[in-house]
């Protein structure tokens, strides 16, 4: 089995759309080339559609989703600012680290992994926070945290959300939800390899960018001059040209399909997988009503594993014999859950059927 046969159903990268792979073969232009700039602008416009926003400051940060996370915090925090963070998985925990390193006083609101965070608890956590931050789709647990209620009652706080695993797969409505800062990654439901972090900042957010963020590379004051500078565009750093071609192409596929159609495809694939797993006797990990269709978490059936195989052995057999990658658990759930992605190009019934068939065969393997 070759690498190109792999079906990427882990929580990491999905299989890129064919149009995206083709985009990488386009000749590389200069980052200020008059033919590249319109493509960068159109990428921003396509991102606005995907994020459902009119925010002018919407562009792909150079770097993976984590660069988006850092940009989302460092540009808005001055030492001593209060930041409320919802934590119900690994990535909420990372937000706390990033905010604390920027000098924030972090007020952490924890919910058990596998459950959603109660928006009221986030809103009540502090009387006057600078930022309220939460992960929309927690990739470590397969849980969706609801955003709309936070935006409606946030007062003067900036609302910051992580859309790494949600953008393109489930509705993300930045303007309707009153979100000020949002970032994502390319490798999940956008169907593009890892390497860029779409970011969007509201007009209120732009007014509150600090003068001297604690990062030079991610300083939005300078980057904005390149990405939204019109005829006065100035060099800040060299844009990763081929990645931007790829994102432009991936967003083209998404918008040609239509956002609603993409959400429907993710929903029907996710529901089919979750139904199939339950029919096989597996227990789903994430709270009902908050399950992500694009990332399913399932409890490893320790007492039913084929003899001689532990949970990592089952995943290894899926990879070696069937070319299917799925993910293991993180943190205290390492070895206890599997994480199965159906994101972007990978979110198809065909892959659900293959995985369920492969898992059935492996689980029935005699010692």
184 lies in the binding site for ligand PLP (CB under 6 A): no
- Strands in 158-268 per DSSP E: 158-162, 181-183, 196-201
Kindly tell me which of 65 and 169 has the beta carbon lying closer to ligand PLP. 65
Exactly one of 73, 150, 162, 285 binds ligand PLP (CB under 6 A); that residue is: 162
Shortest Å, Cβ 92 to ligand PLP: 9
Shortest Å, Cβ 134 to ligand PLP: 11
Exactly one of 93, 194, 240, 306 binds ligand PLP (CB under 6 A); that residue is: 194
In the block, residue with structure tokens 């150079």: 62
Shortest Å, Cβ 305 to ligand PLP: 26
Crossing angle between the packed helical segments 90-101 and 65-74, to the nearest 10 degrees: 40
Kindly tell me which of 123 and 292 has the beta carbon lying closer to ligand PLP. 292
- Strands in the chain per DSSP E: 7-8, 57-62, 82-87, 105-110, 131-135, 137-138, 143-144, 158-162, 181-183, 196-201, 283-284, 295-299, 324-325, 327-328, 337-341
Residues within window 47-66 making contact with ligand PLP, judged by CB under 6 A: 64-66
Tell me which residue has its CB nearest to ligand PLP.
Answer: 65
69 lies in the binding site for ligand PLP (CB under 6 A): yes
Shortest Å, Cβ 22 to ligand PLP: 23
- 225 CB-contact burial (10 Å; exposed 0-12 / middle 13-18 / buried 19+): middle
Kindly tell me which of 23 and 98 has the beta carbon lying closer to ligand PLP. 98
- Strands in 35-153 per DSSP E: 57-62, 82-87, 105-110, 131-135, 137-138, 143-144
Kindly tell me which of 56 and 194 has the beta carbon lying closer to ligand PLP. 194
Binding mask 210-239 for ligand PLP (x = CB under 6 A): ------------------------------
Nearest one of 158, 134, 154 to 144, comparing CA atoms: 134
Residues within window 71-110 making contact with ligand PLP, judged by CB under 6 A: 91
Nearest one of 285, 303, 361, 357 to 113, comparing CA atoms: 285
CA 191 to chain centre: 11
Termini Cα distance of the chain? 24
Kindly tell me which of 162 and 180 has the beta carbon lying closer to ligand PLP. 162
Helix (H, G, I), strand (E, B) or coil at 317: helix
164 lies in the binding site for ligand PLP (CB under 6 A): yes
Shortest Å, Cβ 362 to ligand PLP: 26
Q: Are 91 and 148 in contact (CB under 8 A)?
A: no
In the block, residue with structure tokens 């084929």: 306
Kindly tell me which of 43 and 276 has the beta carbon lying closer to ligand PLP. 43
Stretch that binds ligand PLP, among 118-126, 162-170, 302-310, 346-354 (CB under 6 A): 162-170
Kindly tell me which of 164 and 253 has the beta carbon lying closer to ligand PLP. 164
Binding mask 130-159 for ligand PLP (x = CB under 6 A): -----x---x--------------------
Q: Which residues bind ligand PLP (CB under 6 A)?
A: 64-66, 69, 91, 135, 139, 162, 164-165, 185, 194
């Amino acid at each position: 089995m070759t690498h190109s046969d792999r079906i990427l159903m882990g929580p990491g990268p999905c299989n890129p759309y064919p149009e995206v792979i083709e985009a990488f073969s386009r000749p590389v232009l200069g980052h200020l080339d008059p033919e590249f700039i319109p493509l960068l602008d159109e990428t921003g416009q396509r991102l606005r559609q995907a994020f459902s926003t009119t925010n002018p400051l919407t562009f792909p940060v150079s770097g993976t989703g984590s660069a988006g996370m850092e940009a989302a915090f460092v540009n808005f925090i001055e030492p001593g600012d209060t930041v409320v963070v919802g934590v119900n998985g690994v990535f909420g925990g990372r937000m706390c680290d990033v905010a604390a390193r920027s000098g924030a006083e972090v007020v952490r609101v924890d919910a058990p992994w596998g459950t959603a965070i109660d928006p009221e608890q986030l809103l009540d956590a502090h009387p006057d926070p600078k930022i309220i931050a939460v992960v929309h789709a927690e990739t470590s647990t397969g849980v969706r945290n609801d955003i709309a209620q936070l935006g409606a009652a946030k007062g003067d706080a900036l609302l910051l959300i992580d859309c790494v695993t949600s953008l393109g797969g489930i509705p993300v409505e930045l303007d309707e939800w009153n979100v000020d800062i949002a970032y994502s990654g390319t490798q999940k439901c956008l169907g593009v390899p890892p390497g860029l972090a779409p970011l969007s900042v509201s007009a209120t957010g732009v007014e509150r960018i600090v003068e001297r963020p604690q990062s030079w590379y991610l300083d939005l004051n300078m980057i904005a001059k390149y990405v939204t500078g019109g005829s006065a565009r100035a060099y800040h750093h060299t844009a990763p040209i081929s990645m931007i071609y790829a994102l432009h192409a991936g967003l083209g596929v998404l918008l040609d399909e239509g956002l609603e159609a993409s959400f429907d495809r993710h929903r029907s694939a996710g529901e089919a997988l979750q139904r199939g797993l339950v029919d096989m006797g597996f227990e789903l990990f994430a709270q009902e009503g908050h399950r992500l269709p694009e990332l399913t978490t399932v409890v490893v059936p320790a007492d039913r594993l084929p003899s001689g195989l532990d949970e990592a052995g089952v995943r290894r057999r899926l990879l070696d014999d069937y070319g299917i990658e799925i993910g293991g658990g993180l943190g205290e759930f390492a070895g206890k859950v599997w994480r199965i992605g159906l994101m972007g190009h990978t979110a198809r019934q065909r892959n659900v059927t293959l995985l369920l068939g492969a898992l059935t065969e492996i689980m029935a393997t005699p010692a």
